[in-house]
A and B are shown apart, each in its own frame.
Chain A
Amino acid sequence: GNSVTQMEGPVTLSEEAFLTINCTYTATGYPSLFWYVQYPGEGLQLLLKATKADDKGSNKGFEATYRKETTSFHLEKGSVQVSDSAVYFCALRSGGSYIPTFGRGTSLIVHP
């Protein structure tokens, strides 16, 4: 079956530091890959996505590249801000499946 593994948190950084949150997956076929973000007290919202190999998703300074050869979709940002403090979820959806697969989530804490 499908699975998503992401690094455990919390990840604690100082403002303007470089961020990487690792995500690897196992899936049948050619899934779409997603990063969702959950701010405190809110629901999840899409941060970025990629639908085929070598695609790069980007939004709000975050980016992730769909690497089929390493089955990875790592999230990166060059300079984090305090306002980026949130929980980040990696997810995939396979074609023909109505059920998405989520990672456990990684908490990011950014200090001023």
Chain B
Amino acid sequence: NAGVTQTPKFQVLKTGQSMTLQCAQDMNHNSMYWYRQDPGMGLRLIYYSASEGTTDKGEVPNGYNVSRLNKREFSLRLESAAPSQTSVYFCASSAVDRDTQYFGPGTRLTVL
């Protein structure tokens, strides 16, 4: 099993450009998550999907949109990138509530 995979691993954007971060899991998990990690801020939840067909806002959703394409895939879109969105983005999944989260390797995004 590959676990949770993310693409791309690195990306540089100019202010105003758009892009989609891809995430897929092969563990048949119901729930999927997008986090950003910034120095001194820990992990902050952007959006999550409790199950296929549902999405909900987390702590810092502004400037982002998500799509739960199917049970395996959960994408994060930046419509108009801003320098404040420079961060490391992690996707995660879990089977049920109270259960372990499994994280992808991250996407390192720089917005100039």
Q: Which residue numbers of A lie inside 8 Å of B, CB to CB?
A: 31-32, 34, 36, 42-46, 49, 51, 89, 91, 93-100, 102-105
B42 at the interface (CB under 8 A from A): yes
The answer to the question of B62 belonging to the interface, with a C-beta cut-off of 8 Å to chain A, is no
* A43, A98, A103: the one within 8 Å of B42 (CB): A103
**Overall SS of chain B's interface:** loop
Determine if B98 and A43 form an interchain contact, defined as CB atoms under 8 angstroms apart: no
Identify which of A42, A93, A99, A103 contacts B105 (C-beta below 8 A): A42
Q: Give min CB distance, A52 to chain B, whole Å.
A: 11
Are B42 and A89 interface neighbours, CB within 8 A?
yes
Q: Which residues of B contact A (CB under 8 A)?
A: 4, 31, 40-43, 45, 48, 50, 58, 90, 92, 97-106
Of B4, B40, B98, B99, the most chain A CB neighbours within 10 A belong to B98
A44 touching B103, Cβ below 8 Å: yes
Query: Are B31 and A98 within 8 A (Cβ)?
Result: yes
